[in-house]
Structures are given as C-alpha cells and as structure tokens.
Structure 1
Amino acid sequence: MSDDEELRSQLADRLARSGHLRTQPWRQAVEGVARHEFLTGGFFNRIDTKTVTAWAPVMPDDPLWLERCYQDESLVTQIAGTIVPGDLRGEVMRAPTSSSTMPSLVVRMLEDLQVDAGHRVLEIGTGTGYSTALLCHRLGDELVASVEVDEGVSGRARTALGTCGYAPHLVVGNGLAGHKDGAPYDRVIATCGIVTVPMEWIEQTRPGGIILTTLCGWMYSSELARLTVHDDGTASGRFLAGQISFMLARPQTPPPLGILPDLDQGQEREAALGADVVDDWDTRFVAQLAAPRAQRITLTRDGRTEHVLLDVEADAWAALSEDGGRWSVRQGGPSRIWDEIEEHVTRWRADGAPPLDQFEVSVTPDGQTITWPRA
C-alpha cells in the first residue's frame, strides 16, 4: 500500500468514527479518490496576527504537504479571485475565494444527499474537483455534471479529475442558473452558500428529487437545508442539524459598503435587545430572516464602540452602542433594520426559541420563506 493509499484509509477511518462517513459506497469513494491530486497546485496556510489574517503558500515540495492533504481541514486554494499558491512567495492579506472543503463536511453532505445508483446529480461549485470525483466514483462520470463560475478553477479541476481517471461534464458558468441542458436531475448539491434558492434549480430537478444547499445571510450565520421538489414546481424541507459555513456564491456576495452614512443622524431610542444578541449563531440566523441583506461591522468613534448594520441596497442602517449596560440604537433610511430584528428575535424567543433544525423552508415562484414552529 502506497503512502497516499494508507492516508486515504486513515482518513476514512477518522470520518467513520466521527459519524460523517456512514455507508460503504461512500467509504469506498473516500478510499478510492486521491485528495492530494486535487491539491498539486498547493494551498494556503492561514497565519493569524493580532491585527490581520495573512495566507502563505504550501507547495508539494513541503515535507508536510501530503499529510496535510489528508487532514480533516479546509484548504484554501485561491485568494482574491485570481491568486493561487504558485503565484507568490511570502504572504498575502486578501480574502479567500476558493478552497478544498474539509472532507468531513464533503462526506456528510454526500451522505445527506441520499443518492442511489442511477441518480443524475448536478453539483454547484466544482472547486478543486475532489467532491466531484467522489460523486463520479459513486455514480459514474456520465451521471455527474458540475458548474463552476471561475474558468481557471474549473480548468485545474478538469486536469486533476482526468489524472484520477474521471471525466464528468464540467461547465463554466453561473451555478445559480444550474445547467438546463443536463436536466432533469435527481439531486442538486451546492458547495457554496446562497441567500435564496434559485427557481432554476427547482425547475431542473425532477419531482421527488432533492436539493441540498447552505442558506445564509450577509451576517454569515448559515444552515444546511435539504429540500424536496414537488409536482407543482415548488420545494420545501428543513435544515439539518449542525452549523455549516461556505463561501457565498459570487453573484450573491454582499456589495461594497462604500461611504458610510452619517451615523450621528437618524432616530434614536433605547434598544430592547443589544447588539450582543447576534453573537449567538442561532439568534443571528433568526435576525438574518428579518434583514438578510444587512452587513455587520464594528467601529470605534470618540472612544465608543458602535455596532453597525447596513443594508446598502435599501439605504437603511442601524447603529447600536452600550453605556452602563443599557443599549441604544439610532436608525436611518426607509426601513428600520433593528426594529425588524428585535420583533423577529422576540417572537422566536416567545415561541420557545426552537432550534434551527425545526425550521421549515419553502420555495415557490413567489419567493422563499423560512418559518419556525409557533408555540
């Protein structure tokens, strides 16, 4: 047994012990697909300082490269939309834009997708191609299509897949539009976060088929939803337990904040809830239901910390500050962001603060709704 075969077997053992790898067909896929082949261009190592996060390249000549490829960790493979590890020496301080997702999450999602032999699958977000290869191993190349928005990322994935002997149908384009030429699909799986489920995915999935995707907002609390498509062209389902986070699909990423509004203006009142409530994952998710396109930043002005929510598209904002344990909020624009968040969170708490895996997701041509059970 070669070094990488032993590492694959050890990875499968770890994923099985953690409960993410649950069935034999997917274990065979993990043991059969060489993850390191999808990382031959290297990856970035995260370096945290007191003030910034930087990224330094790790290339295949690094003595720990092969072992790192088989650790259960996400490995960043692209920075700022264009920079790959081979492009630089030293460090870069920009945001990651593509990665090889941690194997436990990849396998957990593939298990949750509930595929059977003969199912046709559309993957949104090819990335390095590792999860695509697992699908090919399980189902066969001819039943797997994968869409990637970044031509360079897709090209590198194609090369790695070919090296491993796989030839799925790879598409460069906007994954939010799906890939209608291969429809209908039995399963759709998205390896990126989205704010709203595109109707195109529903239209391209056969009735009874499943869509597995991570729903998020611009305050970055996200949950994995499994939706079943119905005969009437709608879809519904629930969130699956566990906090899951992906990079947002590029067409649904938040806009630049631009010039901040005058935070000394607006209407001020005592806040019933402080900004610290959205530090909690579940509460922040509920807040996002009221303000899905609000971005959260923290400022220090005149020696005072202000927690600011901005909906750039709606030109609405809220700024909260604390003084002696009492919170106040100033709000401006055509809507009152914090009023809506307070109302939503207070109502959820009055209903017993049900966990997110009890929430219902429904998508129709009229839009997307997310609700929780009422007391």
Structure 2
Amino acid sequence: MSDEEELRLQLSKRLSDSGHLRTRPWRQAVESVPRHNFLRGGFFERRDGNGPTAWTPVLPSDPTWLEQCYEDDSLVTQIAGTIVPGDLRGEIMRPPTSSSTMPSLVVRMLEDLQVSAGQRVMEIGTGTGYSTSLLCHRLGEDDLVTSIEVDAEVSGRAGTALAQCGFHPNLIVGDGLLGDPDGGPYDRVIATCGIVDLPKEWIYQTKPGGIILATLSGWMYSSELARLTVHDDGTASGSFLGGRISFMLARPQSPPPLGVLPDLDQGDERAASLGADILNDWDTRFVAQLGAPRAQRITLERDGHTEHVLVDVESGSWAALTSSAKRWTVRQGGPEPLWDSVEDHVTRWRNDGAPGLDRFQIRVNDKGQKVTWLAA
C-alpha cells in the first residue's frame, strides 16, 4: 500500500470516528478519491502575527504537502480572486477567495444531503472539485452531477483534476445563484458557499420533495447549515442542523464596500439595554443578524476609546456603541434604528429560553425568506 493510500484510509477512519462519516457508500468514496490530486497546484498556509493575517504557499515539492492534504483542514487555494500558490514566493496579506473545505465538513454535508442512487444533484461552488468527485463516486454516473463555479480558472483546474480521477460531471462556469435553468429539475441541491438570501431559482430547479442544503449567513458572519424541502406550491421550508458551519460568502452576496463612514458624532443617543459584547457569541450574533440583515460590523479606536459600529451601506442606517463604567451607550442615525431592532430580536429570543440554532426554522416563498425559532 502506498503512502497516499494509507493516508486516505487514515482520513476515512478519523472522519468515521468523529461521527461525520456515517454510511458505507460515502466511506468508500473517501477511501477511493485522492484528495491530493485536487491540490496539485498547492495551497496557502496561514501565518499569524501581530499584524494582518499572512499566507505563504505550500507546493507539492514541500516535504509536508502530501500529509497536509489529508489533514482535516480547510486549505486555501486562491487569494484575492486571482492569486494561486504557484504565483507567489514569500507572504501575501490579502483575503482568501477559494479553498478546499475541510473533509469532515464535506462529508457531513454530503451525508446530510440524504442522496440516493439515481438522483440528480446540483452543486453550487465547484472549488477544487474534491466534493464533486465524492458525489460522482457515490452516484456512479457522472451525468447525475452538475457543478457550477463562478470562476472559470477555478472550474478549469477542477475539471482537469476530476478527469485525472476518471470523473466527467457536467461543469458549468457561471453565477451559481442562478443555478442551472436548462438542466433541472434536480433531486438535490447543495451549496458549498455561504448565502445571505436563498435564491428562488434553486427552489424552481428542485423537484417537489427534493432537498436543498445551504449555509445561511449574514454580514456579521454568523452562519448555520439549513436543510429545506421543496413543496408543490413552489415554496421551501426546513430547519437548521447545528454545528456552527461557516463558508466564504457567494461573491454576488458579499457585503458592499463601506466607503466613507457616516458622522458617528451625530444621531440620537440613549442608554443601551444590550451592549456590543453580545455579538461575541455565535448564536446571539446570528439572531442579531435577523434584526439587522444588511448591517456590517466594524470596530474603531476613536478619542481614546473603542467604538463598535454597525453600518447598513444601502439604507444609510448606522449604530455606534461605546462602554463606560460597565454601561453601554448607543448613538444611531439613518432611516432605521439598527440597534433597536437588534435588541428587540435578541431580547425576544432570550425570553424564549435562548434556543440553539438547531431549533430555528426557515421558510422561503415569493416574498422572501423568514427565519423563526421554537422556544426552548
């Protein structure tokens, strides 16, 4: 047995022991598909320091490359929309834009998709193609798998790696939020990117009774995995599965540039019943996003104190919170009082016993999406 085959078996065992890999067909897929084949262009390794996060390339010539390919880690494969590991010598301090998702999350989602033999699957976000290859292996017929990627170069590299493994799914370069209008309907839809609003196109392209699995996020970057069933009336509903899952947001739903900040010394000021520190908790921040779904969160140092700011670029609404002597003060401006809405949502959620995100439900129809929770 080669070193690479042994590493595949070790990865399968770790994923099974952790409870993420639960059924034999997906275990066989993990044991058969070489993840390193989808990382031959290398990946970026994070370097933490006192300043901005830096990334350095790890290439196949590096002695640790192969073993790292089979660690249960997400591996960044593109920086700033265009830069790949082979382009760089040294460090880069720009944001990641594409990655190979950690295998435990990949297989957990594939298991949660509840796919069966003969079903047609649409994947949003091809990435390196590793999860696409697992789908192809599981379903046994390449024409049952369609994968959509917005970046032509990323899709091209994935296609090459898939072909080297003997897989030839339908690969589409385009906006995954639009789905595949000419190829549906599908039995299953799975998204490997975060979304703020679940596209109605996905519902229209899924058979009644079919399943959509997607990570609902927001611009405060708390997110959760949702599984929805599509109904005969063109709506979809479901629940959140728990686990604090996070993906890079789909590029068309990424937050707009902040631009010039409003004058934070203006606005209406009052004592805040809840402070900005509530946003440090994942579940609470998710609830806060429901109250201010288009708000971005930043922290500023001004006049010797820390200011926690929410800004809705599109509406012009904003809220700035400061703490003094264990008391919080909020100033708000624009057409909508953002922090009032956050406090209202979080207070109602706490009064209901602060149920976990696995007790949240989502419904999507022509009017949009609505997230609610069941009291604890």
Using the size of structure 2 for normalisation, the TM-score is 0.99
Cα drift, residue 356 of structure 1: 0.9
Distance 2:266 2:42 in 1: 49
AA aligned to 1:84 is: V
Counterpart for residue 180 of structure 1: 181
AA aligned to 2:297 is: R
Does structure 1 residue 269 correspond to structure 2 residue 278? no
Counterpart for residue 106 of structure 1: 106
Distance 2:356 2:280 in 1: 16
Secondary structure at 2:362 match in 1: strand
| Deviations, residues 12-52 of structure 1 (Å, cap 9, x unaligned) | 00000000000000000001100000000000000010121
AA aligned to 2:147 is: S
Secondary structure at 2:345 match in 1: helix
Does structure 1 residue 205 correspond to structure 2 residue 198? no
Distance 2:194 2:59 in 1: 28
Counterpart for residue 224 of structure 1: 225
Counterpart for residue 335 of structure 1: 336
AA aligned to 2:219 is: W
Distance 1:318 1:193 in 2: 25
| Deviations, residues 337-358 of structure 1 (Å, cap 9, x unaligned) | 0000001100111111111111
Q: Is the 8 A contact 2:78 2:96 kept in 1?
A: yes
Counterpart for residue 10 of structure 1: 10
Cα drift, residue 292 of structure 1: 1.2
AA aligned to 1:217 is: G
Distance 1:242 1:44 in 2: 25
Distance 1:286 1:205 in 2: 28
Using the size of structure 1 for normalisation, the TM-score is 0.99
Does structure 1 residue 248 correspond to structure 2 residue 238? no
Cα drift, residue 373 of structure 1: 1.9
Counterpart for residue 84 of structure 1: 84
AA aligned to 2:345 is: H
Does structure 1 residue 118 correspond to structure 2 residue 118? yes
Counterpart for residue 315 of structure 2: 314
Does structure 1 residue 70 correspond to structure 2 residue 70? yes
Distance 1:354 1:197 in 2: 23
AA aligned to 2:160 is: T
Secondary structure at 2:89 match in 1: coil
Counterpart for residue 93 of structure 2: 93
Secondary structure at 2:21 match in 1: coil
Secondary structure at 2:76 match in 1: strand
Distance 2:143 2:218 in 1: 34
Counterpart for residue 325 of structure 2: 324
Distance 1:350 1:25 in 2: 44
Query: What are structure 1's unaligned runs of at least 5 residues?
Result: none
Number of residue-to-residue matches in the alignment: 375
Alignment of 1:126-141 (within 5 A): 126-139=126-139, 140-141=141-142
Distance 2:190 2:294 in 1: 23
Q: Which runs of 4+ in 1 moved over 6 A?
A: none
Counterpart for residue 365 of structure 2: 364
Counterpart for residue 237 of structure 1: 238
Secondary structure at 1:318 match in 2: strand
AA aligned to 2:307 is: E
Distance 1:314 1:328 in 2: 22
Distance 2:3 2:293 in 1: 46
Distance 1:188 1:284 in 2: 27
Secondary structure at 1:21 match in 2: coil
Secondary structure at 2:284 match in 1: helix
AA aligned to 1:360 is: Q
Does structure 1 residue 301 correspond to structure 2 residue 302? yes
Q: Is the 8 A contact 2:152 2:173 kept in 1?
A: yes
Q: Is the 8 A contact 2:354 2:375 kept in 1?
A: no
Q: Is the 8 A contact 2:56 2:92 kept in 1?
A: yes
Q: Is the 8 A contact 2:278 2:285 kept in 1?
A: yes
Distance 1:83 1:157 in 2: 16
Counterpart for residue 51 of structure 1: 51
Query: What are structure 2's unaligned runs of at least 5 residues?
Result: none
Cα drift, residue 128 of structure 1: 0.2
| Deviations, residues 170-205 of structure 1 (Å, cap 9, x unaligned) | 000000000022101000000000001100000000
Counterpart for residue 280 of structure 2: 279
Distance 1:138 1:2 in 2: 23
Q: Is the 8 A contact 2:355 2:373 kept in 1?
A: yes
Counterpart for residue 347 of structure 1: 348
Q: Is the 8 A contact 2:242 2:357 kept in 1?
A: yes
AA aligned to 1:6 is: E
Cα drift, residue 257 of structure 1: 0.4
Counterpart for residue 37 of structure 2: 37
Secondary structure at 1:289 match in 2: helix
AA aligned to 2:15 is: L
Cα drift, residue 374 of structure 1: 4.4
AA aligned to 2:254 is: T
Distance 2:314 2:148 in 1: 28
Q: Is the 8 A contact 2:236 2:365 kept in 1?
A: yes
Distance 1:374 1:144 in 2: 39
Does structure 1 residue 168 correspond to structure 2 residue 173? no
Give the CA RMSD over aligned residues. Answer: 0.7
Distance 1:25 1:181 in 2: 30
Cα drift, residue 293 of structure 1: 1.1
| Deviations, residues 273-313 of structure 1 (Å, cap 9, x unaligned) | 00000110000000000111110000000110000000001
Distance 2:335 2:184 in 1: 42
Distance 1:321 1:154 in 2: 46
Distance 1:90 1:221 in 2: 32
